Amino acid sequence: MGEKQGHAQQGQAHADGSPPRPVDKTNEYIRIESVTKRFGDFVAVDNVTLSVFKGEIFCLLGGSGCGKTTLLRMLAGFEAPTSGRIFIDGQDMADTLPYERPVNMMFQSYALFPHMSVEKNVAFGLEQEKLPRKEIDQRVAEMLDTVKLGDFARRKPHQLSGGQRQRVALARALVKKPKLLLLDEPLGALDKKLREATQFELINLQEKLGVTFVVVTHDQEEAMTLASRIGVMDRGEIVQVGTPTEIYEYPSSKFVADFIGSVNMFEGRLIEDEPNFVRIEAPELSCTIYVDHGISAPPGAAVWAAIRPEKIEISREEPAGKENRARGVVRDIAYMGDMSIYLVRIDSGKTVRVTLPNSVRQLSERISWDETVWLSWDSSSPVILPQ
Ligand code: ATP
């Protein structure tokens, strides 16, 4: 079922109003063509076709075991596809060994040499290439400056914080001036605060150096922050590719909607299907769902209506109109600082999740536990997905 309404286009601002990260779609750098990887009978990567453009931060996002590391290892040349082809910068990589590829890979463990100082760790790859000493020293110093580790050059890895070690690994990978950097869960070892700061550093660095990044992560927040585009993987397949906004606002399946952020899913049946609106009968609600755009599906089709928690309003007063609403009782409230999560049991017994920003401190007026409330949402908010 393809939706008729226009999806978020490349270049559209993010939902939070921040500008999009630009992607030059005329400049294809990686082309993965019908690539499958089998280990015995097991299909780890299943017929993946994908383009990554020059200067992108492309995130491969998916749950454990979905095949993202295997795909990354095939780009690096550590695994060969069972079938299909991989092109980097227009060149078929079939017969190109890992060290001959314009690629560097940063491993999850960082794999630093513990007995070597920071500058020796960073210089190692250049020394292997037998570059002149003067050039090595200059490039290492420049790179340590870029990752803000100039003052730490003489330290050993165990004398650094997790974030600093991560930057050494990054410097070691970047000093060789790869055109493509592959990062496997690069920030996995960092705590939340450091991870966030490092994500922004990584973006700045990538923008400054213009290297193309392919990042593997299972952390959807990380993918949303870092990526110019995200490829969501499930059981070896790429199930959706898009900008963070497209993936969040217009998931193409229940799997993607569920995987990225929280979502309320209502099972339903299409009872009216016009070019510019649809109506869905949803037994879990005591009203129909009205959606202000058409979808391509036959009348009577079984669908899911997905509504994000922040797109639902909660009030004590009964909303006007007879559609897109539900009555319920507040069963739980979680105060998260910047926002609160309300779990509301509606009349059918289903629990609906609603989030409210805590932008103002109106403690006395806040809706509280066990209050009867009305939930409502705009007709543009539900995303209709095939069952
Ligand atoms: P995680 O986030 O847990 O690292 P992933 O998405 O990166 O997961 P992969 O490492 O690509 O997953 O593995 C995909 C599947 O292929 C897994 O089920 C894994 O067990 C299997 N697999 C990976 N490498 C091999 C191998 N050398 N031999 C057999 N099976 C393998």
132-152 pLDDT tens trace: 999 999 999 999 988 888 999
Q: Which atom of ligand 1 is nearest to the CA of 216?
A: 7
Q: What's the whole-number average pLDDT of the chain?
A: 89
Closest ligand 1 atom to Cα of 79: 27
Query: In this predicted structure, what is the pLDDT of residue 13?
Result: 38
**d(CA 44, ligand 1 centre) in Å:** 7
> Could you tell me which residues are beta bridge partners of residue 31?
51, 87
Question: Six-digit token pair at 79?
Answer: 């695994």
> Phi, psi (5° rounding) for residue 349?
100, -10
Q: Which atom of ligand 1 is nearest to the CA of 62?
A: 6
Say how many Å lie between the CA of residue 332 and the centre of ligand 1: 39
Q: Which residues on adjacent β-strands are paired with residue 270? A: 280
Give the pLDDT score at 20: 55
- 5 Cα–ligand 1 center, Å: 37
Give every residue of the chain whose pLDDT is below 70, as ranges.
Answer: 1-22, 108-109, 189, 360-364
Which pLDDT value is given to residue 190?
Answer: 73
Q: What integer pLDDT is reported at residue 5 of this predicted model? A: 34
Is residue 301 a contact partner of residue 1, using CB atoms and an 8 Å limit? yes
Q: What angle do CA 126, 131, 137 make, to 5 degrees?
A: 70
Residue closest by Cα to atom 12 of ligand 1: 65
Q: Can you tell me which residue has the tokens 């999560």? A: 341
Query: Of 36, 38, 42, which is best to mutate to test ligand 1, by the most ligand atoms within 8 angstroms of its C-beta?
Result: 42
pTM, two decimals, is 0.87
Whose CA is closest to atom 17 on ligand 1?
Answer: 65
Kindly give the distance from the C-alpha atom of residue 302 to the centroid of ligand 1, in angstroms, as a whole number. 34
pLDDT at 6: 33
Euclidean distance between CA atoms 58 and 236, whole angstroms: 17
Give the pLDDT score at 18.
Answer: 53
pLDDT at 98: 93
Going from the Cα of 197 to the center of ligand 1, the distance in angstroms, rounded, reads 29
Token pair listed for 254: 């229940």
The phi and psi torsions of 91 (rounded to 5 degrees) equal -105, 130
Distance (angstroms) between ligand 1 centre and the Cα of 68 equals 8
Substitution site in 42, 70, 75 for ligand 1 pocket (most atoms within 8 Å of beta carbon): 70
Report residues whose beta carbon is within 6 angstroms of any ligand 1 atom.
39, 42, 44, 62, 64-70, 218
Calpha distance 314→33 (Å, rounded): 47
